[in-house]
Structure 1
Amino acid sequence: MKLFIANRGEIAVRIARTAREMGIETVLGVSEPDAESLAARTADHYVVVGPAQATASYLNQDALVTAALEQGCDAVHPGYGFLSENADFARKVAEAGLTWVGPTADTISMMGNKSLAREAAANAGVPVLKGSDGPLDPEADAVGIARAIGYPLVVKASAGGGGRGIRFVHDEGELLETIEMARGEAAAIFGDPTVYLERFVEHARHVEVQVLGDGTNFIHLGDRDCSMQRRSQKVLEEAPAPNLPDAVRATIRESSVALARQCGYHGAGTVEFLYDPGNHEAAFIEMNTRIQVEHPITEQITGVDLVREQLLIASTRSMSISQDDVHFSGHAIECRINAEDPSHHFFPSPGTIRSLDWPSGEGIRVDTGVEAGSVVSPYYDSLLAKLAVHAADRDAAIAATLAALEATHIEGVKTTVPVHLALLARPEFAEVSHHSKFIETAADLMGAK
């Protein structure tokens, strides 16, 4: 196999290194400014696919497919973000005779439509939140449906994702106007005005299950907690999810595998849930049909290389492990370190990294796409690195992560390291009483909302 990597930054470095260990030659598609990047030097070859603007490079489907073919590649790995969950791109890759490292375009399309995904989850026995029965028909009795669900509730864009396309409704008086606004926004942002209604769980935790499938065999690799979020974007994750009742943990793991089986899933995927600590119930949110940003902590507690399994499934149609081979050890925490200024409303902080020191030692892993001298571009996501720390138990992992953050030194750009130090020191995190809106409620600590 000769692999084309359609991404950038730390995930491109991550894929290239695992591919090299497997004896797979790699070609990285880069934008013009990324030709000097660490990722470009890590891959065996690179090819410029367009200018700095993502729409003309990393999101240019035709340019990426053409580059992969011209370089003699056999397969395309999309990483995460960009086109990783774009069914049209997956279909173009397959139609060009290339292997898509991931599930089929039809699976991506179904899971990308949140109302269809919700229906598929319910059919697989995955617990779902009370909500409208599929997409909300413009002629339907929205008021009656909402009363049956109960307030507060959320209006969600069927094509939404990543925290976008969601509007909250607190009472009946604002329902119809909110639905119309949500439909307009969904049409403008996603090209699809379809929305649905779902019960809103206040102070919910965000938990998820990592799954793998090769079309015949389907397994889980445990769960993660991603409740530390800012504006629905994950900030800090841990594995396994702490303080989950055994029955809830078993339900989300087993039902996630059932959903993967129902889809005939190929590759790595993540089934996401809202967990209500008040009534000890978890309910389906969505399925991400790609490798997750937070996959390193699952690798740390299982010893399984998820990118390796992705490449094996794509090349041989078979993964190397069964459920009986998956064993869990210790606890892991991941901090997403971004080039942002927390004291100024988390504004991006582009610039040149003058110096950089990462921590090292037992249990410490740093996935990064930057080094001293790297230019942090304003054109792309501000993620600099993922610091993942593994220890014997959760308390030890918290202490080790705090020490690793203290040993992290980055000059030239502002970073979110101080935010992570503050979050990990909070008693709410230690007690697992935090939730997905916790950061917004701790504005005094964060320095900004």
Structure 2
Amino acid sequence: MSPIAIAAIIMLVLLFLNVPVFASVLGACVTYFVLNPSAGLDGMLAMQRVISGIQSVPMLAIPFFVAAGALMNYCGITDRMLKFCKVLTGHMYGGLGQVNIVLSTLMGGMSGSSLADAAMEAKLLVPDMRKAGYPNGYASAITAFSSMITPLIPPGIAAIIYGSVTGTSIGRLFVAGIVPAVILCVAMMIIVSKYSKKRGIPRLSEKRASGGELWEAFKPAILPLCLPIIIIGSIRLGICTPTEAGAVAIAYAVILGIVYKEIRWDNVLTCIRETVCSTASIMLIVGAASCFSWILTWENVPQTMTTVLISVCKNKYIFLLAVNIFLLVVGMFIEATAAQIVLAPMLVPVATAFGVDPVHFGMVFIFNMALGSLTPPMGNLMFVTCGVTKCPTEEFLKDSVVFYILIFAMLMLMTYVPFISTWLPNLLYGV
């Protein structure tokens, strides 16, 4: 058996044993170098590849946006957004369920992390949803699945990583996720409305909010809602790069905290601690996965895969179906960040050879990875949500069936109707 095959098997075994993702991938890399001394490779090269993998300038955007999201949560932003969402959707069936979905959509442009979004809303909304009549499993499912909107809304961390490792425009990727996110948001709201009406779950308000009430709730949310516009606008106009836009987001969050008089030193220290921990966990995975990705390139795996896929898949539609199935299976077992760094550089050249737009393919790839975070046995988003809400996994899965159907339908729509992902980037950036 070849060294690369042994390394891949070891990585999968370690992942199944719940060894941390970065350690599993790094263990596979070390195994490859130990078993392949004849190629003139040594362990020092492994460390060099790990370090070089995290020395990408676009990767600097990750700690910036993580810090901005943390600051938003501690500067009174979330409370103002929550009040606005309640006024906006209070007259709809499913009250708090609708608030959950809209808040995920709006906060996605600030937190950039589906895990952070799910944890925050699980603490904030699920207890009240249970009091309103939602079963714990269904309330947890709404929270987890609505958090899938977060990676699509700019500035999603997944888009930054995908753009960094494939050379795709991060600005275009940011914009490309907006239309799919809105479609997914509306579809989920319709499902929750029908379910709530059938189960008799009360609305927050019996009548639609008046124009004056909407305006009063909207005014405190205006400044936070400007953040995604500032990020996309500054990148599009060439004022700053995605990395610099992350720094702008931090400055903007601090200014809002000062304006709202809610920023305190203890909050700042908490934000710094959360940023360091989140960034460290992401970068450890990025570094290890970058090393493994380099090994795959050294072994000509991308070129071999390209040749095989082109010979087997006669057109891009069959190729996209095969990729979806492959990524869904991978997402069940491998953490999304590691899978993205290893697989995206291999698959994007093949997609380009079939005439698939890299931005469109990026949205399909990112959505597949997000879906993997909701499926056992490695569903991080599912486990984080259930951990906060104390919901048994079996109950969560039973009440999630309708959302799984919706997500798969959305995946097919994004895959075979590229206009959904490419229309807005082409409008803003040109074809």
Name the one with the larger strand percent: 1
Normalised TM-score (structure 2): 0.29
Determine which structure has the larger helix proportion and give its number: 2
Structure ranking higher on relative contact order (CA contacts 8 Å, 6+ apart): 2
